[in-house]
A and B are shown apart, each in its own frame.
Chain A
Amino acid sequence: MPSGATLGVFLEALQGSRIVVELKRDVIVRGTLDSVDAGLGLTLSDVTMEYLQGHKEQMALVHLRGPSVRLVHVPSKMEPDMVIATHRRRIAAARKLQERRAAADRVAPSDVNSANGGE
């Protein structure tokens, strides 16, 4: 999963939608986005690959390495601002939860000590 600090989270939000990916070697890949990895590699299913010469290939499952990607066409129905805002909220909520847990962990050791001391 991409870290929240990069735009990979935006690509993650596209999971499940049909996208068009342009590769650096001038190949157009159309498919349903299954997942995004940390290096922004994309796994797509139900894929059609269109080559520059014109011929097309159908494939069930394809993984595109991050560095091979030039552009990703985003469904025009999506509003990037809202999608990013939703993701930012999710990340902020997760971070708060993590901080609360870390704070609880800091408190817990002294509780254990006092319990032992009490006995």
Chain B
Amino acid sequence: MALAEDEAMVKEPLDLIRLSLDERIYVKCRGDRELRGKLHAYDQHLNMILGEVEETVTSSEIDDETYEEIIKATKRVVPYLFVRGDGVILVSPPLRS
């Protein structure tokens, strides 16, 4: 029972991520990328294994004629993904979008 209490205690920032194991999370990555998926595993480098992932890549272009900014979001779904931690900016419970 003491072990369960220890596991529930949040002692350091990574413990917050531990609480999200097996839950759907939102990950903001470098290169204007976002991932939404189920967190299967993570380590101290924030390498992660995500399941049923939706990746959104946001790119912006400037129209040559009108000079207006066109924002494009490209999405794709991948069953299982290993994400290298050095690309991760933030991890959070899913945002409503």
Interface residues of A (CB under 8 A from B): 5-8, 10-11, 24, 40, 66-67, 69-76, 78, 80-81, 84
Contacts and interface: CB of A to CB of B under 8 A. Distances in A.
Interface extent on B, as a size class?
20 to 34
B13 interface: no
A7 B41 contact: yes
A71 B81 contact: yes
A7 B44 CA distance: 9
Interface of B: 31, 40-45, 47-49, 51, 78-84, 86-87
Contacts of B40: 80-81, 84
Contacts of A71: 81-84
24 contacts: A6-B43, A6-B47, A7-B41, A7-B42, A7-B43, A7-B47, A7-B48, A7-B49, A10-B49, A67-B86, A70-B84, A71-B82, A71-B83, A71-B84, A72-B82, A72-B84, A73-B78, A73-B80, A74-B49, A74-B79, A74-B80, A76-B79, A80-B49, A84-B41
